[in-house]
């Protein structure tokens, strides 16, 4: 096996994902840069996801968790089970274009060692077959001054690949390629992905921490994949209450850990009104999200410990990060 073939591992995290797995596996099998390792971490699925993944990806190592440990913890498990220089963290509801791995790796090579993460052009997929559509899902993560993180280009018509790769604040965890050196460097208390997030916004947390520690991210224009986007603001009312609770919790956890005092002052006029809206909704129309605030209070000591560690190790000042918060 040559050096190129040893470069990349794929980690797929499943939780009742059987309906997407056949199409996802087809994308993995089609890669022009074949993965050296494939790891599937199943979070106690009840629909046979683990068994189906083992059948569809016979070379994969399948880790079966007895309980749903959450996306972040499963991602850490999968990363720890691989050794390759690059790790593609892949949602099962993603279909990879055949050159996704190769083009993402090539983009990181061109960009240089300071770039620790890459995403391709993620377009929306439709249905169980992840049928391609001409609508953008994510071209990377962008931040706002109100404390939100959004997917660049989400919902817009696809305009095709640009002439060059684009630097972005961070990458969506749906199909993210990370350097192992990046994951090792930004880990806090042994965790690349903060397991307190459980699910949702953990990719934005990792991106922000990476920025603080001097790493950069990019969108590889020539790499294309399709993602079935199921969690959007428009469908919030129909989502499971625990998903919305984690969304609220993680909105505040993201900033409590990563936002320096300079950015907090700069963004306060935008963040505080939205925080009041979020808190007001939890008190009135979405009371199932109230446990988010209880959790934050009970875990304040560990949150502050993580914040202290991140801020102690930061290499980039808030004035240099301000350009990402518009």
* Residue-level pLDDT at 201: 93
In contact, 183 and 81? CB cutoff 8 Å? no
Residue that is written with structure tokens 């684009």 in the block: 166
Tell me the per-residue pLDDT of 15-65, one tens digit each, with 9 for 90 and over: 999 999 999 999 999 999 999 999 999 999 999 999 999 999 999 999 999
Instruction: Measure the CA–CA gap between 146 and 22, rounded to whole angstroms.
Output: 39
CA distances from 11 to 80, 174, 186 (A): 10, 11, 19
Residue length, the chain? 326
- What is the block-wise mean pLDDT of the chain (326 residues), using blocks of 10 residues? 68 97 98 97 97 97 97 97 98 98 97 97 97 97 94 95 93 97 98 94 97 98 94 63 89 97 96 95 93 97 98 97 93
Question: Two tokens at 82?
Answer: 């691989």
- Domains with residue ranges and CATH for the chain: 93-233 (3.90.550.10)
* Residue-level pLDDT at 162: 85
- 163 burial via Cβ count (<10 Å: 0-12, 13-18, 19+): exposed
Strands 37-43 and 8-14: parallel
* Residue-level pLDDT at 291: 96
Question: Per-residue DSSP letters for 47-84?
Answer: SSHHHHHHHH-TTSEEEEESS---HHHHHHHHHHT---
Strands 149-151 and 141-143: antiparallel
Instruction: Measure the CA–CA gap between 21 and 16, rounded to whole angstroms.
Output: 10
H or E stretch covering 95: strand 94-96
């Amino acid at each position: 096996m040559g050096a190129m073939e040893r470069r990349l591992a794929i980690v797929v995290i499943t939780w009742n994902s059987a309906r997407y797995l056949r199409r996802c596996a087809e994308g993995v099998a089609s890669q022009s840069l074949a993965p050296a390792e494939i790891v599937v971490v199943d979070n106690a699925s009840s629909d046979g996801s683990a068994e189906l993944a083992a059948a569809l990806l016979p070379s994969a190592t399948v880790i079966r968790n007895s309980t749903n440990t959450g996306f972040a913890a499963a991602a850490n498990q999968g990363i720890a089970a691989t050794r390759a220089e690059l790790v593609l963290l892949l949602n099962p509801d993603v279909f990879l274009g055949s050159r996704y791995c190769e083009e993402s790796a090539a983009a990181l090579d061109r960009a240089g060692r300071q770039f620790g993460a890459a995403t391709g052009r993620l377009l929306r997929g439709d249905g169980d077959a992840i049928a391609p559509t001409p609508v953008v899902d994510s071209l990377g993560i962008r931040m706002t001054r109100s404390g939100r993180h959004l997917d660049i280009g989400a919902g817009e018509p696809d305009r095709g690949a640009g002439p060059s790769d684009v630097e972005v604040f961070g990458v969506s965890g749906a199909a993210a390629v990370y350097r192992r050196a990046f994951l090792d460097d930004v880990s806090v208390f042994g965790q690349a992905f903060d397991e307190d997030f459980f699910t949702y916004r953990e990719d934005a947390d990792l991106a922000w921490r990476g920025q603080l520690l001097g790493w950069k991210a990019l969108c590889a224009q020539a790499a294309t994949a399709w993602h079935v986007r199921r969690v959007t603001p428009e469908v919030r009312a129909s989502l499971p209450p625990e998903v919305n609770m984690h969304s609220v919790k993680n909105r505040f956890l993201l900033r409590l850990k990563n936002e320096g005092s300079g950015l907090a002052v700069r963004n306060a006029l935008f963040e505080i009104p939205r925080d009041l809206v979020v808190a007001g909704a939890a008190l009135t129309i979405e009371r199932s999200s109230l446990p988010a605030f209880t959790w934050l209070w009970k875990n304040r000591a560990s949150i502050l410990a993580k914040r202290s560690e991140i801020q102690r190790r930061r290499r980039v000042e808030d004035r240099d990060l301000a350009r990402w918060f518009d």
